[in-house]
Structure 1
């Protein structure tokens, strides 16, 4: 089917000549061999547009290539291939919700620029134009460029597999090298004093979210899905399974019994397809206190982090209860209180600590206890955990007072 079949009555129009309504007025336009649309002046008659298109084709288009493109069913507009590739990525790759949505948005961006171009007319110049358009704006980092290039590589890999292109358009393009100093975490840490000040000024629901994050080390994607009670742990859900009576549970780290009231089961959203994403956290007295604090709002809702909405808006697509909060609302609420207190006004907004920094504060506090944080934080490897526990301070390693005697 490619290029698209002519509308009935336009079968004999010259290659590249089209018509569409622009602001309620029918306009003729011509699509050249590079896929660029050129509109004829308003009021141009059909016969003038016909002859102009025919003359262009005779001078610049190869009649054999025009005929071949009509016979090649794989040479379709890029916008048609986008739907096919999105379908394949969804069915063949185990991407998380955020990663898949980002891929779909990148496909849409590509379609905005080149959706009308036939796939086998896409060249490396189109790939360069895409990267320049979305990655060379002021403030765009090398990471953004590398992510967009990774997207193009994946997209055209699928397109080659579908025989939509003969030559990989982004093949050979180099990723931008990120220097060691550019990899350093730019966001400021959240210290104990700042945490306590924000906690004291926070509304009830934010106090609950902050406390549970501090005790569990888990982030907003899990907190907003936490339920007060689960009958049994289940894949894709986060919540608490309570004991009928509190139990004394032996802790190998502290070498003593700890009172536990149940288990908080976390299925981490970001790494949901990995075995390490399933975590069972004993509910200690401190964690139970944070959960019980939620009940003081007297709202009837199965979720722990909740609030009564101010406006009568529709329920978010990420929620299934009117009082349930989205992860964005939790993060935004923390940042609002932080800025109202003026604790980090000396820093630009992009460097001020966010709600996620509570996770780092918790990890650093637990590290000294000997807890296996990689398991607790549902990380796939220790390198990821080290991002949270490494300090930015210079640590001097003291060595033994030895001398060399030859």
Structure 2
């Protein structure tokens, strides 16, 4: 061990600067703002733990013990990637001996991560969270309840998807399914048969008109669900509109509303943090209520299906070959 070796904090800062500014030949491919912020937060936690320890004094054992303190597989993967990169950066600068293994890469998580066991959201829990949620989140929750769409599809819903008395949606599909060339799903929610969905869309239209009175940018926003916490609205490079909602913002908003609901009610008693219902729990609740209302397996399969093209691509590239599955027979009411 070289006593003159720089400490972990110094090298972590240097690696972060290199990763953010110098590692990409094309400036357009550099990390987005949210990615930079998340990585910086993780590096700060690592600096708090390893601090002034010389880089070559940190062993695989030390890193493995740190990994064991992490609470999720996702966080472990992110932290492991950062630590591996810091030690690799130190090696390329001649500050970490070649004969030593990379501790970030060599160490593994001791425990076997348990799969997330989130529960379906109960009607009482839905109402409690809904009561604490901002208006845009209430609209989103109601849309999921009536359509059983995944949250990424809710944030992508646009006003031009409403036509011919229907809401036309092609749910987004994962990259794996896209590679497998699975059959696309085309959903048409018939608004004359689903009065609750129509009422939700009318409420969203009212929110849009209200925002347009104060913000010129709101007039060009194409999304049905628009954020309404005006003081915090700002534009970012990865948004099509400053009023657009992404999954991170939505997850934080739902968690805040759920935490307030937990303080004010006993509907969540007995649930661990991993079991607390999230957005997917609303989708489960929706499908369960549809089945209770009489929906058959074919209907449920259609409404829960995946796809691999966005609505605009499908509508304009092959409009004459698309067979839309009409969905509007089950107007969901909470018991």
Report the TM-score when normalising by structure 2: 0.56
1:275 correspondence with 2:246: no
SS of the residue corresponding to residue 183 of structure 1 reads coil
| CA–CA separation in structure 2 for the residues paired with 1:292 and 1:199 | 18
Q: Match for residue 315 of structure 1?
A: 234
Instruction: Give per-residue Cα distances to partners, 1:55-76, cap 9 Å, x unaligned.
Output: xxxxxxxxxxxxxxxxxxxxx9
Structure having the higher helix fraction is 2
Question: Is the Cα–Cα contact under 8 Å of residues 6 and 55 in structure 2 kept in the other structure?
Answer: no
Q: CA deviation at 1:153?
A: 3.6
Quick one: which of 297, 307, 328 aligns to 1:369? 297
SS of the residue corresponding to residue 344 of structure 1 reads coil
Please list every run of 5 or more consecutive structure 1 residues that lacks an aligned counterpart in the other structure: 1-30, 38-75, 230-239, 247-260, 379-406
Instruction: Give per-residue Cα distances to partners, 1:251-299, cap 9 Å, x unaligned.
Output: xxxxxxxxxx24235557xx67983799764343245543233123442
Distance of aligned partners of 1:353 and 1:128 in 2 relative to their CA distance in 1, 3 Å threshold: same
Distance of aligned partners of 1:111 and 1:334 in 2 relative to their CA distance in 1, 3 Å threshold: closer
| CA–CA separation in structure 1 for the residues paired with 2:59 and 2:186 | 49
- Structure 1 vs Structure 2 CA RMSD: 5.0
Q: CA deviation at 1:209?
A: 0.6
In the TM superposition, what are the counterparts of 1:370-389 in structure 2 within 5 Å? 370=298, 371=301, 373=304, 375=306
1:290 correspondence with 2:200: yes
Quick one: which of 94, 110, 114 aligns to 1:176? 110
| CA–CA separation in structure 2 for the residues paired with 1:275 and 1:175 | 31
| CA–CA separation in structure 2 for the residues paired with 1:163 and 1:274 | 44
Q: CA deviation at 1:342?
A: 1.0
In the TM superposition, what are the counterparts of 1:161-310 in structure 2 within 5 Å? 165=96, 166=98, 167-170=100-103, 171-178=105-112, 183-195=114-126, 199=130, 204-214=135-145, 215-219=147-151, 221-229=152-160, 240=161, 242-243=162-163, 245-246=164-165, 261-264=166-169, 267=172, 275=178, 281-285=187-191, 286=194, 287-297=197-207, 298-299=209-210, 300=212, 301=218, 302=221, 303-306=223-226, 308-309=228-229
Quick one: which of 270, 284, 292 aligns to 1:360? 284
Distance of aligned partners of 1:98 and 1:226 in 2 relative to their CA distance in 1, 3 Å threshold: farther
| CA–CA separation in structure 1 for the residues paired with 2:3 and 2:91 | 24
Structure having the higher strand fraction is 1
| CA–CA separation in structure 2 for the residues paired with 1:344 and 1:222 | 28
Distance of aligned partners of 1:123 and 1:187 in 2 relative to their CA distance in 1, 3 Å threshold: same
| CA–CA separation in structure 1 for the residues paired with 2:266 and 2:120 | 12
| CA–CA separation in structure 2 for the residues paired with 1:344 and 1:90 | 53
| CA–CA separation in structure 2 for the residues paired with 1:273 and 1:99 | 23
Q: Match for residue 265 of structure 2?
A: 342
Q: CA deviation at 1:331?
A: 1.3
Distance of aligned partners of 1:124 and 1:274 in 2 relative to their CA distance in 1, 3 Å threshold: farther
Aligned residues: 271
